[in-house]
Amino acid sequence: MKAMQLHQTSSANTAPLVATEVETPQPGPNQVRLKIHTCGVCHTDLHIVEGDLHLPRLPTIPGHQIVGTVEAMGKDVTLHQPGDRLGVPWLYQSCGACRYCQNNKENLCEHIRFTGLHADGGFAEYVVVDERFAYPIPAAFDDAEAAPLLCAGVIGYRSLRLSQVQPGQRLGLYGFGAAAHIVIQIARHRGCEVFVFTRSKRHRALAKSLGAVWTGGAEDDPGTVMDSSIIFAPAGWLVPQALRVLDKGGTLALGGIHMSPIPEMAYDLLWHERTVRSVANSVRQDAIELLQVAAEIPVKTEVELFPLEQANEVLLRLKQSRINGAGVLQISA
């Protein structure tokens, strides 16, 4: 099968993914093989390619926002049938036995595996996955629209939940890429006022079109304080800026898997029971709930489509904030 494979980590400026032919994977017990239609391109893919995350294996095929149809099944598959359209997110597998899994915290599993990191992902024509970690895609979304929901949507939904924002409250979003443009739609559906902090004029325009009541830079004055905020941009310097305009008792959720160092800051920014919390991965229930909520609203994902062979170009554009919404690889019809 065709795949864009990473052999050695390097800057996205050097086009590190290699177009290659690899053997089509065979499904084992309780696994399904999907013929991939689309795969979203995520900041986590950028962190993998550039070596910001520890890579347990090379070569590897990135990609963890996969939409495809079941083409083959291993033994004992009971949840899906040939032809079913499924989505595969970042969480590839949890052990189900460790103390975290036993306490409904499989996102912290001691033996956790991630799609496109521990197992080959979606920058390819086919992928195999445990049937328990693939989810039916609602008919409300076509293949391209659905792809960003599988990571940007799922982690955005978890970040929104952990931010503890309540209906009608003020929510600050820092960075306005794939995750934030989905989160704003859920937050607006719940009656929240959303303030968007981003440098990009294109992203500010998109935020306004999706209902943001204010847009500006992280160092600007929004004219009020936030009840909750989420930082999606992987920039540690944003933490004190977000705390600067966070109300007493408010929560700041850090939605990225990687972030540059957080600078030293005055304790006054944290005082009055402000909370800063990281968001680590997701659980299966997050994916199930997000897909349901997104279909009910319905969420409209803003996507830019590219062929598989342009995966390097998409990563570079993502790094340079030159994608409006989410970049998606079109792999098959």
Domain 2-151+281-330 classification at class level: alpha beta
In whole angstroms, what separates CA 39 from the centre of its chain? 12
Answer yes or no: is pLDDT of 256 > 90: no
Contact 143, 67 (CB under 8 A): yes
Question: Which residues have a Cβ under 8 Å from the Cβ of 201 and sit 6 or more positions away?
Answer: none
| The pLDDT of residue 302 | 87
What is the Rg, in whole angstroms, of the alpha carbon atoms belonging to the chain? Answer: 19
| The pLDDT of residue 325 | 80
Answer yes or no: is pLDDT of 41 > 80: yes
CA-CA-CA-CA dihedral for 296, 282, 80, 119, to nearest 10? 140
Answer yes or no: is pLDDT of 42 > 80: yes
How much of the chain exceeds pLDDT 70, in percent? 100
Answer yes or no: is pLDDT of 169 > 90: yes
Which one, of 200, 244, 201, 208, lies nearest residue 226 by Cα? 244
Tell me the average pLDDT of the chain.
Answer: 96
| The pLDDT of residue 321 | 87
Sorted by where each begins, the domain ranges of the chain are 2-151+281-330, 154-278
Answer yes or no: is pLDDT of 4 > 80: yes
Domain 154-278, CATH number (from 3.40.640.10, 3.30.70.1140, 2.30.110.10, 3.40.50.720): 3.40.50.720
Answer yes or no: is pLDDT of 79 > 80: yes
Answer yes or no: is pLDDT of 333 > 80: no
CA–CA gap between residue 1 and residue 20 (Å, rounded): 8
Of the pLDDT bands very low, low, confident and very high (cuts 50, 70, 90), residue 178 is confident
